[in-house]
Chain A
Amino acid sequence: MSDGFEAIVVGAGPAGCAAAYTLAKAGIEVLLIERGKFAGGKNVTGGVLYGSVLHELIPEFWKEAPVERRVHRHMISMLSEKSSVSIDFNTDNSDHPESAGYTVLRARFDRWFAQKVAEAGGMVITGSRADDLIWEDGRVAGIVAGGDKIPAKVVIAADGVNSLLADKAGLGVSLSPDNVNQGIKEVIKLPRQTIEERFNISADGGAAIHFLGFCTRGVHGGGFLYTNQESLSLGVVVQLKALIDSKLKSVELLESFKRHPTVREWIKGGTPVEYSAHLVPAGGLRMVPQLYTDGMLVAGDAAALVLSTGRALEGLNFALASGIAAAETVKMAKEKGDFSQKTLSQYTGLLSESFVLQDLVRFYGAPQFLDNLRLYSVYPELACSLAERVLGVDGNPKRTVWQLAREEMKGKVSLWQLMRDAMAARKTI
């Protein structure tokens, strides 16, 4: 190993695997190093993997990858303490699997992806922690892992949200409680047939439900419920600052979320089999650091490349696409025989041409919009209380929906405020 590698990729998540796979396919000597005992062993998702980016890299990946279910039912549920109002979208997307979303369990999925890297000719080492960088004449020239120095012409840091390597290279994201969300999740086992009947989904199909409101008891965050083949993924994602300010623990939120009458029925009879936690960068473009230096590139969560919109946090495809872009940059650098900052700067060019930076630019203001606490308390409660009155009959003379809405809004939100929030939402949702 004294000669080292052309490229070292640190972290076998979606960004690292996509980068290493792209490099290996191009015949570049690449080492993918992962601190977990196996790829995926340290990883958690609270999201859905949309197929388009991975399909370009590994055509029809869903036929071989351990994806759980192809999502054909999407719901958005607004919760008050006892009620819920939902938007329920159901479709048959079995004829265009490439653009569908898939539920995944990362300990399985990432393991498969790292295996693909090995099959493509990359060297994959798991159970090895990259502790430091090798510096040579002011440029990154490899890594130090378990006391071994492993030289390389270029290092791609894809080591996740707590990227200690990026920090060491001065490319670290400035993480703070107001730009990071904490996700916690339970995997709850249920028989396959029960899941399909309960969620009204087909044999390989799945449902994804996003929650807003009581799931975080009105603080900045949301909840999710995804169907896997033989389990459900249920969790909450809360801004760290909201936990600190409210002195709430996310696990308390998860427990009351599980007791909510709507959620209780979804998970009934299930057995929790795993409890996990992970952080998500949620500050949008504002927190994205410099993405390269001499001999090094940063991709995925390590570079805070996560899109925060009023609809969801999206990181998986941003990780995949940034990993691929980092690898393409390395391919160009190899052709030129120059791994200096100047050549590696093409990385940002590639990201600007793709949805990665375009989306982050378009939704620049979304994280600020999401600081509006009415989104998590007033509006979900209003939706539920209004639905109860509109859909109920109480023996009194009826009023129009508009009259009821005005009554329900009283003391909670003014019409002026509602309109201002709606205007702000135009640019961020």
Chain B
Amino acid sequence: MIEIKRLCVDLGEFVLNDVSLSIDEGEYFIILGPTGAGKTVLLESIAGLNPIRSGELWLRGHNVTNVEPEKRHISIVYQDHVLFPHMTVKENLLFGLKMQHLSVEEQNENLNWVVDLMGIDRLLHRNPETLSGGEKQKVALGRAIITRPELLLVDEPLSALDPETRENVQQELRHLHRTLGLTILHVTHDFEEAISLGTRIAVIGDGRLMQEGTPEEIFRHPNSEFVARFAMTRNIFQGTAKRKADGSTVFRVNDTEFVIAVELEGSRHASIRPEDILISSEPLRSSARNCFPATITNVLDRGSTLYITADIPPELSCLVTRQSFQEMELQEGKKVYLTFKASSIHLFD
């Protein structure tokens, strides 16, 4: 559906180098990369908002490399919403339709459709500055889809939101993707967000495309140090959550059962932050519900801290300071115990 061929962009401070990507109709495609990796530049270049140095962009079989942004039918939603501050919510939503010179009836028809879809009828006559972050994001999404774009670009749409609203907007995006069959290109630095929403992921770093594949491929088989570090520093597992006879809930992965603190069931992803895991040479007696024997399989030196990978199985990454590393004489092959609280395990779709 969209084909990016050897795209190079040079904006001085941000550079994209030889990026090629192909996104299919109806995909939820994620571009994952750390802050400053050139993700926003890539999105804006696809929308035609940045001058490109070389490369081509094809949309539904047409070369649109030199087509004006207003003729591409590609909408963009920014992290901080970027609503027109001098217009009401309604005027914001109608802007794109007015630009297309639709009749008043058509404008109202589309407006009602978006208002129903996003559930924002109460907001229509408000000024953008009076809206909450989640409301702004909904309006921004509504404004972007009201013109029925062929491709929706979303730039870190969840980063500026509090956890609850985040969950909400995430559902909204998933919903838009499924019900409208909309092709979405979503940029984020958040690994969990990427796995949770994406049908495919491209990792970009330093203005380059590092790896492209399904979420599973990216976090199971990283092809480079960069991707590995990006993926490895976030222990992410796929497994099933279920309630046990004794009333506790566990998350089962590779025959290992982690005790978790939320009452959920079914197939999920789980993550544990490396800094939440304790390493000890003896089993710890503590209030933490999870304590497992493991074997160290890898040590990654990051200077004052180190990432220790230990296999239960599954393999878990743990963050330790250089001091602990030396005092405990940690090394590959050593048998240790990993301890973490049930509440340290974060479950997501």
- Co-complex (A, B): no
B contacts, CB < 8 Å to A: none
